[in-house]
Amino acid sequence: MNKLLLIIFSAIILYLASCTTNKNEVIVYTSVDQIFSEQILKDFEKETGIKVKAVFDTEETKSTGVLNRLIAEKDNPQCDIFWSGDPVRTIVLKNKGITLAYQSENAKNINPVFKDPENNWTGFSARARVLIYNKNLLTDTLVPKSIFDLTNKKLKGKTAIANPLFGTTTFHISALFSVLGDENVKQFLENLKKNDVIIATSNGDVKKRVMQGEAYCGLTDTDDAFEAMKEDANIGFVFLDQNGIGSLIMPNTVNLIKNSKHQENAKKLFDYLLSKETEEKLAKSCAQMPLHKGVNVPKNIPSLDNIVPMKIDYDKTSKKLEEIQEYLKAWVENGG
């Protein structure tokens, strides 16, 4: 009898230990490059003792893989918190009723432009869309100043963009549609196609092609641009349309998932991501621009105060992103 009681008692202890372990974790899906996001999550784990289980996107399916997974899991959420590289896909989740409102104390000094009015998402460290170019192939006078300069015949077959069905390129194209209108952007994309634009698999592939000289220039994000300049002194970058529509600013965003299993731990990670300390780390690791004032950053990191931003409505852009998917798919498949 005593032996039986001992077995039962041991089973209860193991069960309770298992429950405790499960409660002391948080599950995060992220579209941010693993090389940068993983270290932040490890730091959170060390500082809090909360176990982080992370699901990362691949470079080629950037932002679409985990987004589709979150949508598929809507009625049985497996994720507690989504860390996105841009606001648009987060808004897709909000519109589908997948997000949970949460107002972090660390968000109070962030510009309202970068926050959802209903607190379904909050922005932090930002990147921008820029043009990188190979200084050996383009002199300063020939470097495009506007995105529309990419249709110049002198750049025929020598301009690269990442596949617009994925990642921040989708966000960029959707923003152009929302700001300039369908007709103008479709004409621009057709002109790019006529100019034999190179469609790369990812922003990283754009970087590689410009560094290798296959392309003279290409559209990518500031983090890839800074990586390229570290690797090759002959690479430069510019913020486009500073006398026109401005450059697209892309904050990271974070949101909670409705009906998830570890919401209190998710709130702690939410607060952690919005801290000045996290923004400082992202500035140092991948040249992201803080949204908080007074963050210590390397001298070469540009300030948002000195960049003319594209004035966009994130909600409108999010809806446009879903509307133009079939058009973009046809544009890519028809030899863009």
**Boundaries of every domain in the chain:** 25-126+251-302, 127-248+318-333
Return the pLDDT at 11.
38
Q: For the chain, what percent of residues have pLDDT higher than 70? A: 91
Banded model confidence at residue 176, pLDDT cuts 50, 70, 90 = very high
Same topology, domains 25-126+251-302 and 127-248+318-333? Answer is yes
CA-wise closest residue to 56 among 32, 26, 27: 32
Mean pLDDT over the full length of the chain: 90
Q: What's the rounded mean pLDDT across residues 319-324?
A: 92
pLDDT digits (tens, 9 = 90+) for 66-100: 999 999 999 999 999 999 998 988 999 999 999 99
CA-wise closest residue to 273 among 8, 39, 111: 39
Banded model confidence at residue 65, pLDDT cuts 50, 70, 90 = confident
Indicate the residue type of 134: N
Q: What's the rounded mean pLDDT across residues 262-282?
A: 98
Return the pLDDT at 5.
44
Banded model confidence at residue 7, pLDDT cuts 50, 70, 90 = very low
Kindly compute the dihedral angle of the four CA atoms of residues 39, 40, 43, 47, in this order, to the nearest 10 degrees. Answer: -170
Banded model confidence at residue 56, pLDDT cuts 50, 70, 90 = very high
Helix, strand or coil for residue 27? strand
Return the pLDDT at 167.
84
CA-wise closest residue to 189 among 202, 170, 205: 170
What CATH number labels 25-126+251-302?
3.40.190.10
CA distance 238 to 303: 14
With tokens 């009625």, the residue in question is: 75
pLDDT digits (tens, 9 = 90+) for 129-172: 999 999 999 988 899 999 999 999 999 999 999 999 988 999 99
Return the pLDDT at 16.
42
CATH class given for the domain over 127-248+318-333: alpha beta
- Check pLDDT > 50 for residue 20: no
Return the pLDDT at 140.
84
Return the pLDDT at 272.
98
Q: Is the pTM of this model over 0.85?
A: no
Return the pLDDT at 211.
97
Banded model confidence at residue 300, pLDDT cuts 50, 70, 90 = confident
